[in-house]
């Protein structure tokens, strides 16, 4: 069957109209991400943020503050120093493609969620009011590149959960109330160049760190014992 150019154009226009109608009717943003955003909004105490609403909405098309998308998936939420309080809740693990979460310099309380997206690459929650322990479920974040949990009220031991972080480059757990020895799996962080652990109550030795490719290490104001491994003494910033 032969089609004229006009007929082909009509078919293309009809197809585009169907696609646009579907997006307008059902929304563009992934439904699971929309639901996760609605729950997060409620958990954070319904902060005044342009675009954010408690039910429905279309974060990607409507340009919700701090939200970045790739196609229909939310890939980052950046709300640094946005005067947010409330808690993180347990909705974060429902995001389908979230790679970066930056809620630094707010007043967020509660504990760290046990469930986070396995797609997470950058997790920045420094300078908040987070308390409780660091969950061992962080071991599921195998794509993690940078994590900052410093300047909170986290307590307990650092979990032995670093066996599957081949790409973790920066880790900051400083200025908390962490105790105990450094976990053995921390020695497997083969890409780690920056580690800040200062101003905690950590104990034991630093031996587990001696074979890491560190260029920036701070362990001041803890309760470490024993001699400093020779390899660590050559770190440029120590």
Write out the two tokens for 131.
């308390």
CA 45/CA 47 separation, integer angstroms: 6
- Poorest-pLDDT segment among 16-30, 60-74, 119-133: 16-30
How many domains, the chain? 1
Tell me what pLDDT residue 18 has.
41
88 within a domain of the structure (yes/no): yes
* Host domain of residue 192: 66-233
187 within a domain of the structure (yes/no): yes
Q: What's the chain's average pLDDT? A: 91
CA 129/CA 148 separation, integer angstroms: 14
Tell me what pLDDT residue 194 has.
98
56 within a domain of the structure (yes/no): no
14 within a domain of the structure (yes/no): no
- Which pTM value belongs to this model? 0.87
- Residue-wise DSSP of the chain: ----HHHHHHHHHHHHHHHHHHHHHH-SS-HHHHHHHHHHHHHTT----TT--SS---TTTTT-TTEEEETTEEEEEE-TT----SB-TT-GGG-SS--EEE--SS--BS---S---TT--EEE--SS--EEPPPGGGGG-TT--EEE--SSEEEEEPPS--TT-TT--EEE--SSEEEEEPPGGGGG-TT--EEE--SSEEEE-SGGGTTS--SEEE--SSEE-SPPPHHHHT-SB-
pLDDT above 70 covers a percentage of the chain that reads: 89
Any idea what the CATH number is for the domain that residue 198 is in? 3.80.10.10
Cβ pair 108, 131 in contact under 8 A: no
Write out the two tokens for 149.
């949990």
CA 195/CA 198 separation, integer angstroms: 9
Tell me what pLDDT residue 9 has.
53
140 within a domain of the structure (yes/no): yes
93 within a domain of the structure (yes/no): yes
106 within a domain of the structure (yes/no): yes
112 within a domain of the structure (yes/no): yes
Tell me what pLDDT residue 22 has.
42
Judge whether residue 5 has pLDDT over 80. Answer: no
pLDDT above 90 covers a percentage of the chain that reads: 84
Confidence of residue 14 (pLDDT cuts 50, 70, 90): very low
Q: Taking Cα atoms as reference points, which of 82, 160, 155 lies closest to residue 124?
A: 82
Judge whether residue 135 has pLDDT over 60. Answer: yes
Q: Which whole number is the average pLDDT over 135-149?
A: 96
Judge whether residue 160 has pLDDT over 80. Answer: yes
Query: 238 or 2: which carries more pLDDT confidence?
Result: 238
- Poorest-pLDDT segment among 23-27, 33-37, 121-125: 23-27
């Amino acid at each position: 069957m032969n089609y004229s150019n006009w007929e082909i154009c009509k078919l293309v226009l009809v197809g585009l109209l169907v696609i646009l109608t579907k997006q307008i009717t059902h929304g563009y943003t992934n439904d699971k991400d929309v639901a996760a955003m609605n729950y997060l909004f409620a958990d954070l105490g319904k902060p005044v943020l342009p675009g954010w609403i408690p039910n429905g909405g279309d974060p990607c098309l409507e340009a919700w503050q701090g939200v970045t998308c790739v196609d229909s998936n939310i890939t980052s939420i950046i709300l640094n120093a946005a005067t947010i309080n409330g808690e993180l809740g347990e909705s974060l693990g429902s995001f389908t493609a979230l790679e970066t979460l930056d809620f630094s310099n707010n007043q967020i309380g509660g504990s760290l969620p046990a469930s986070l997206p396995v797609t997470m690459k950058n997790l920045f929650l420094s300078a908040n009011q987070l308390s409780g322990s660091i969950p061992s479920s962080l071991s599921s974040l195998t794509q993690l590149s940078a994590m900052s949990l410093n300047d909170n009220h986290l307590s307990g031991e650092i979990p032995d959960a670093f066996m599957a972080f081949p790409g973790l480059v920066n880790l900051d757990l400083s200025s908390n109330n962490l105790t105990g020895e450094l976990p053995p799996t921390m020695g497997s962080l083969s890409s780690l160049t920056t580690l800040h652990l200062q101003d905690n109550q950590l104990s034991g030795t630093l031996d587990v760190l001696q074979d890491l490719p560190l260029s920036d290490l701070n362990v001041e104001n803890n309760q470490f014992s024993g001699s400093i491994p020779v390899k660590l003494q050559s770190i440029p910033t120590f």
